[in-house]
Amino acid sequence: MKSAQIPSTSLPRIVVVGGGFAGLQLVKSLAKHPCQVVLLDKHNYHTFQPLLYQVATSGLETASIIYPFRKALGKQKNFIFRFTEVKNIVPERNIIETSVGEISYDYLVMATGAVTNYYGMKEIEKNSFALKTIEDAISLRNHILKNFEEALLTSDTELRNSLMDYVIVGGGPTGVEVAGALAELEKHVFPIDYKELNLVEMDIHLIEASPKLLGGMSEIASKKALEYLEKMGVKVHLGVSVKSYDGYTVTLSNGETLISKTLLWAAGVAGNPIKGLKEDVILPNGRVKVDVFNRVEGYENIFAIGDLACMITEETPKGHPMVAQPAIQQASNLAKNFKKILKKEGNLTPFKYKDLGSMATIGRNKAVVDLSFVKFQGFFAWVAWVFVHLMALVGYRNRIFVFLSWVSSYFSYDKSNRFIIEPKKE
């Protein structure tokens, strides 16, 4: 059997599972701590999830929103990486079982994030697209472009419409952003690429079960997002949910049906726990109950941070929102606490979330921003969105490449990465 071959040292070992916003921030912040830091991830790169939708809609190339862990952290002396899938924790033995063998830990930090939540609807899970990984984004991009290539080949109106119409379920940031980006493709790119098609036939449906878009944001943000999308031609269905989808016919809760070969499911996420923990620490939505120090309930040396962690307090009865900011802040706080934990000192600092606000973009010059002291929309909101996302990317290289892509798209109205790249058949 393989062995993970982690070099032994005299220092305590912190194993971090998952290199998303939380995991990456934690590993970086542990650089000077007297410990060995082992990061495990099933990808060899960090993914900047907020921009996956731009890869899926041909706006950005893959490489500019991902960053190799070994490039980001290779020079950090206490850093060890293993490219592996984690299978199981054995808390009583302080080991974690992975596809590359057992790894022992002194402290374990789970930062495995979230997965798409289908609420048990297997048919939708099987037939729909999701947008959580680079592979998801590439797969959706290939699919959209192949649909249009295929739409050229048929004189059957219904079949053609099923290829040209898109159904997006979930009116959160992902749903809103994908709908907006598709509307831009419809207006500026596809009329040149597919001049043989009548783009009036293309419909983009956005389905949201609640009565408003961007549920986590202010009324004005929701209203403006709706207004922008409708102006861009997106058909927004509020207060409606999806009952079934067989890969062709979408049945809605109001009895209506839509025909489409593409349904993007962005209607929910669930925590992605690792097997082996006591069952009562895992909530029905898959998140793991943690105390104010991000320690998993009932364990001394196991922590959870980011989307996975559900810290139930008076202010946060359902835990923190499953977005980047709490993940990064929890990682920083935990890294500070590790200074004391490694010295076996008590008096840890409880996590305190500083809400920096939220934002979503709908398209060119159109975004909505909610800050605690001001809410604004339109051009300046869009500039703020661009600035914040550029700064949040990992590495100067990716910032420059994304910036140049955006500048070029801004002036050309184009989205350049219209590639169908299929896996090589082995």
The residues binding a second copy (CB under 8 A) are 2-5, 7, 43-45, 61-64, 66, 68, 70-71, 74-75, 80, 82-83, 100-101, 134-136, 138-139, 145-146, 149, 152-155, 192-196, 397, 400-401, 404, 408, 414, 416-424, 426
Question: Smallest gap, in angstroms, from Cβ of residue 47 to a second copy?
Answer: 10
Q: In whole angstroms, what is the distance from residue 304 CA to residue 114 CA? A: 12
* Nearest distance from C-beta of residue 80 to a second copy, angstroms: 8
The residue among 344 and 425 lying less far from a second copy, judged by its C-beta, is: 425
Q: Where are the alpha helices (DSSP H) in 128-218?
A: 134-151, 157-164, 173-184, 190-193
**Closer residue to a second copy, CB minimum distance, 80 or 111:** 80
Residue of 61, 92, 177, 196 with catalytic role: 177
Most distant pair of Cα atoms in the chain: their distance:
73
Residue 249 C-beta: closest distance to a second copy, Å:
21
CA distance 296 to 287: 11
| Catalytic-residue membership of 177 | yes
Question: If DSSP codes are grouped into helix, strand and coil, which group holds residue 225?
Answer: helix
Question: What DSSP character marks residue 100?
Answer: T
Q: Which two tokens stand for residue 134?
A: 């680079």
Task: Judge contact between 38 and 13, C-beta under 8 A.
Answer: yes
Q: How far is the CB of 302 from a second copy (least distance, A)?
A: 25
Number of other residues whose CB lies within 10 A of the CB of residue 95? 18
Distance CA 290, CA 298 (A): 9
Nearest to 339 by CA among 168, 107, 95: 107
Name the residue nearer to a second copy (CB basis): 126 or 278. 126
CB of 143 to a second copy, least distance (A): 11
Strands, E assignment, 176-323: 204-208, 235-238, 242-245, 249-252, 257-259, 263-265, 269-271, 288-290, 302-304, 309-311
The dihedral of CA 271, 274, 279, 281: what is its sign? negative
Is 356 or 400 the residue whose CB approaches a second copy more closely?
400
- Among residues 5 and 254, whose Cβ is nearest to a second copy? 5
Pure H helices in 194-231 = 219-231
Q: How far is the CB of 11 from a second copy (least distance, A)?
A: 16
Burial class (CB in 10 A: 0-12, 13-18, 19+), 291: middle
Report whether 128 contacts 323 (CB < 8 A).
no
Question: ∠ CA(321), CA(326), CA(332), 5° rounding?
Answer: 165
Identify whether the C-beta of residue 285 lies closer than 8 Å to the C-beta of residue 117: yes
**From CA 373, how far away is CA 86, in angstroms rounded?**
42
Smaller CB separation from a second copy, 141 or 224: 141
Residue 44 or 251 with smaller CB distance to a second copy: 44
DSSP calls for 377-416: ESHHHHHHHHHHHHHHSSSHHHHHHHHHHHHHHHHH----
Q: Report the residue number, 14 or 176, with the smaller CB distance to a second copy.
A: 14
Q: Active-site residues: which are they?
A: 177
